[in-house]
Amino acid sequence: MSEVFLKDALVTLKESGVRITPQRHAILEFLISSEQHPTADEIYKALEADFPNMSVATVYNNLRVFRNAGLVKELTYGDSSSRFDFVTHDHYHIICDVCGRIVDFHHPGLEEVEHLASHVTGFKVNSHRLEVYGTCPECAS
Q: What is the pLDDT of residue 118?
A: 94
Give the span between the Cα atoms of 63 and 65, in whole angstroms.
5
Last residue of a domain, one of 52, 69, 86: 86
CATH of the domain at 106: 3.30.1490.190
The radius of gyration computed from the CA coordinates of the chain, to the nearest angstrom, equals 17
CA distances from 27 to 19, 44, 126, 137 (A): 14, 9, 27, 30
Pair (135, 79) in one structural domain:
no
Torsion of CA 32, 36, 41, 43, to 10 degrees: -30
Judge contact between 25 and 68, C-beta under 8 A: no
Residue 118 makes CB contacts below 8 A (sequence gap 6+) with 124, 125
Please identify every stretch of the chain with a pLDDT value under 70, giving residue numbers as ranges: 1, 78-80, 88-89
Last residue of a domain, one of 41, 63, 86: 86
Q: Which helix (H) or strand (E) holds 133?
A: strand 131-134
State how beta strands 72-75 and 83-86 pair.
antiparallel
Its domain, for residue 34, covers 2-86
Residue 98 makes CB contacts below 8 A (sequence gap 6+) with 135, 136, 139
Residue 13 makes CB contacts below 8 A (sequence gap 6+) with 20, 24, 65, 66, 69, 71
The model's pTM: 0.76
Residues 80-110: tens digit of each pLDDT? 678 898 876 677 888 888 988 888 887 777 8
- Number of domains the chain contains: 2
Q: What is the pLDDT of residue 103?
A: 85
